[in-house]
Amino acid sequence: MVVIGGGFAGLQAVRELRTAHAEVTLVDRRNFHLFQPLLYQVATGSLSPGEIAQPLRGILARQRNAKVLLAEVLAIDLPRRRVRLRRQPDGECGDLAYDSLVVAAGAAHSYFGHDPWAPHAPGLKTVEDALEIRQRILTAFEAAELETCPERRREWLTFTVVGDGPAGVELAGQIAEIARDTLRREFRAIDPAEAVILLVEASDRVLTAYDPGLSVKAVEALRRLGVTPLLNTRVVQVNGRSIYMKAGGGDVSEIAARTVIWAAGVSASRLAAALAQASGAALDQAGRITVKPDLTLPGFPEVSAVGDMVRVSDGASATLPIPGTASAAMQEGHHVAQALRLRLAGRAAKPFAYRDKGSLATIGRKAAVAQIHGVKLTGFPAWLAWLIIHLHFLMGGLQNQFIVLVRWTVSFVTHGRSSRLITASGPPPRPAATQAEPAAATGAVAATAGRQAGAGHGLMAAGERDRRPAGRAAGRRG
């Protein structure tokens, strides 16, 4: 059995097969499993990368029937049952044969057809993304301290997060805490609390996958922190100095902001399109392949696809409403492992049945929202539940769990962050704009956004995955 991708789904499948009479090969272009639900804490200086990542070989060291290959998948030959690999250490290519194949190649950022925005608005999917965002956030405060022009200083102290799923909400809340809590008294020329943090969303509420009442509570908590949600607002252009937005049917407005973070959408791995072309399976607008109810490809029962790159057919004409969470990915990984066991025993696999175990999003200190088995929590109870659940699922055993618990405890008591290091030399990359800027109202903060900001001021890994189809207008969540 070959498993492509060491994220939640792929790794769960491998571990579930530890007692099976099968040889399991895990292929990933990274040598570690990344706990993506806490990646935003690396981006905001609360944790270090090594505290939320664990080497795949270390995780599987005691599983004698499993081996790990550090390689990138170039192609999959379904009729011949071969996977074409490029070895990461030396770049040489070769084929890997399989009897059963699980593809869990994850997803990447989607800018809804506006890829030139990427250098100006990094997303958060990898460790490198997190470190770049951390550099941009911390460098912005340093640049503001050095700036003598009030207008340019406001540009550096304006932070915009696009997308209001859990990742966007958590990032905006953490930036607000950095500005109003962590950095207070550390600067002499500026007051970090004067920073403007904007959360831009094209729909009419934040956390649209949650109960509407929890969305309201989340907005209240964000406003208390000093975050200004800009709802019903669509991004139309991003460059190195400004973000252009259109609220409802109004005019395009410009907000001068040096730091823009993208949390608005994802698109499936390119392997999804390759599998769809080879098997005849359908693709959606986000590039996700439609798999059968048992998670296999049409016409190829030995091949399963799971995680962010798939949507699951209900056996008729619709698809199952499965959220893009770590829990769902792990359930899919468990299912394909059990299906292989059944096939080895000569029995047919059952359709995948998703169990909703709940959703959580943290906003700040003692502020979170959660819905768990029909129970809705807000504030401190939700925040405590979030801490316990994430510690429980953190990979790396007691060592990583203990280190993260200590980090959180010290941060809570001291209001500090242990990883506020700017490790890259020079300013954050800001290439010249590649598209013409639309006509817009000029000024540091345009009319509508300015008023709201003033009010708010007083391939290969899958994680807690904000799965958002990329078929909507720019800046809109799926």
Active site (catalytic) residues: 170
Report residue 86: phi and psi, to 5°. -115, 120
C-alpha to C-alpha distance for 263 and 261, rounded to whole angstroms: 7
**369: helix, strand or coil:** strand
Residue type, 397: G
Cβ–Cβ contacts within 10 Å for residue 293, how many?
Answer: 17
Helices 212-225 and 447-457: crossing angle in degrees, nearest 10, is 80
C-alpha to C-alpha distance for 417 and 223, rounded to whole angstroms: 22
Radius of gyration of the chain (CA): 23
Task: Evaluate the CA torsion angle 120, 125, 126, 132 in order and state its sign.
Answer: positive
C-alpha to C-alpha distance for 318 and 301, rounded to whole angstroms: 20
**11: helix, strand or coil:** helix
C-alpha to C-alpha distance for 309 and 267, rounded to whole angstroms: 8
- CA dihedral angle for residue 339, residue 340, residue 345, residue 351, rounded to 10 degrees: 20
Closest to 103 (Cα-Cα) out of 349, 348, 268: 268
C-alpha to C-alpha distance for 242 and 265, rounded to whole angstroms: 20
Contacts 24+ apart (CB under 8 A), 77-85: 78/275, 78/278, 78/279, 78/297, 78/300, 78/303, 81/302, 83/2, 83/4, 83/27, 85/27
**Structure tokens of 365?**
């200190």
**Structure tokens of 436?**
């013409």
Cβ–Cβ contacts within 10 Å for residue 321, how many?
Answer: 11
Q: Environment class of residue 318 by beta-carbon count within 10 Å: exposed (0-12), middle (13-18) or buried (19+)?
A: exposed
Report residue 452: phi and psi, to 5°. -70, -40
Task: Count, in order, helices (H) and strands (E) of the chain.
Answer: 12, 24
Q: Which alpha helices (H) appear in 227-353, and where do they start and end?
A: 270-279, 326-344
